[in-house]
Amino acid sequence: MNTEKVIDKEESVVAYGQGPAELGGGSYGIHSGPRADMVVSVHPLCQELPLKILNSLDTNGASRTEGRTTPFVTVVTDLGGAHPTWFNPGVDKCFVPSDVLKNAAMDRKVKESQIVQYGLPIRRGFWRFGADYNTDSPPEEQDEEEEMQGVHHKPTIRESLGLKDMPTVLIVGGGDGMGGIVSQAQAVGERLQKLASSSSSPYQMVVVCGNNKAAVTELSTPQTQWGSDIEVSIQGFVNNMDEFMRASGKSLIFVS
């Protein structure tokens, strides 16, 4: 679910969830302007309160517990486990990606008729892995059947990202750079330096810090001195995570 698309005021849809960096992050609410045709929640803490607000809006303040006429949909973006607040029996539809979360929703009194099991909403780049990056045509304009006959080309992807063509480890801490990403990156970097020194083979590490600007600063030189045998790229919030993952041999994801 791309909240950057549905927040546009020209469209009568409101998205509750994490905002993109350029909008300051945080949670979206009912925006001024035309009333929404539908509300889509993509965050576990955005069911209870938005439903109460819609009840109040749709009844002109008469009730916060009933009377809602605006459709409300939850899209669960967790895969194997989810916080109970994802699931509210007051929604019209609850989209879940797995049997486990379907059962979790039903345990929270969401009826089976309200549940749609449809997999995870993911960006096109995560599954269009065979796109040809050697042409002027972007992946979304290429023929999918033809591209799937080939394989992705790491050297080309790395070059497009400004990376060196060498064994690469990717470290990610989510959109907010959580999970102790600074200490984790420093520990991995130290380990890679030792491996590079002992094997005479260079390594590369990419650290995506998300909106954690303090982590970007702390991991950048001169605050952190990396070994001479490893290449290190420190990134902030990126919108092309699929490309960084394809460019890497190993991915380490830390979240809290």
Place of tokens 């982590």: 215
141 and 107 share one domain: no
29 and 60 share one domain: yes
DSSP 19: P
**Tell me: the pLDDT tens digits for 56-105?**
999 999 999 999 999 999 999 998 889 999 999 999 999 999 999 999 99
134 and 208 share one domain: no
Please give the pLDDT value at position 2.
38
Kind and range of the H or E run holding 173 = none
DSSP 18: B
Lowest mean pLDDT among 36-45, 71-80, 172-181, 198-207: 172-181
Lowest mean pLDDT among 73-82, 118-127, 176-185: 118-127
CA–CA distance, 133 with 139 (Å, rounded to integer): 8
73 and 48 share one domain: yes
CA–CA distance, 59 with 52 (Å, rounded to integer): 11
91 and 101 share one domain: yes
50 and 139 share one domain: no
167 and 144 share one domain: no
Residue percentage of the chain with pLDDT more than 90: 52
pLDDT of residue 131 exceeding 60, the answer is: no
Average pLDDT over residues 116-145: 68
Please give the pLDDT value at position 44.
93
- Residue 255 sits at the vertex; the CA angle it makes with 252 and 256, to the nearest 5 degrees, is 150
213 and 241 share one domain: yes
**Residue 105's CB: how many other CB atoms inside 10 A?**
27
Average pLDDT over residues 113-124: 87
Looking at the structure of the chain, the number of domains it has is 3
Taking alpha carbons only, the member of 169, 219, 228, 222 closest to residue 197 is 228
**Tell me: the pLDDT tens digits for 186-215?**
999 999 999 998 988 899 999 999 999 999
187 and 228 share one domain: yes
**Residue 214's CB: how many other CB atoms inside 10 A?**
11
Average pLDDT over residues 152-165: 87
Q: Are strands 230-235 and 93-96 parallel, antiparallel or unpaired?
A: unpaired
Domain boundary among 117, 138, 172: 117
191 and 95 share one domain: no
69 and 133 share one domain: no
Higher pLDDT, 171 or 139: 171
111 and 9 share one domain: yes
Do residues 172 and 252 make contact, with C-beta atoms less than 8 angstroms apart?
yes
pTM: 0.64
pLDDT of residue 145 exceeding 50, the answer is: yes
Full residue range of the structural domain in which residue 81 is found: 3-117
- Kindly report the average pLDDT of the chain as a whole number: 81
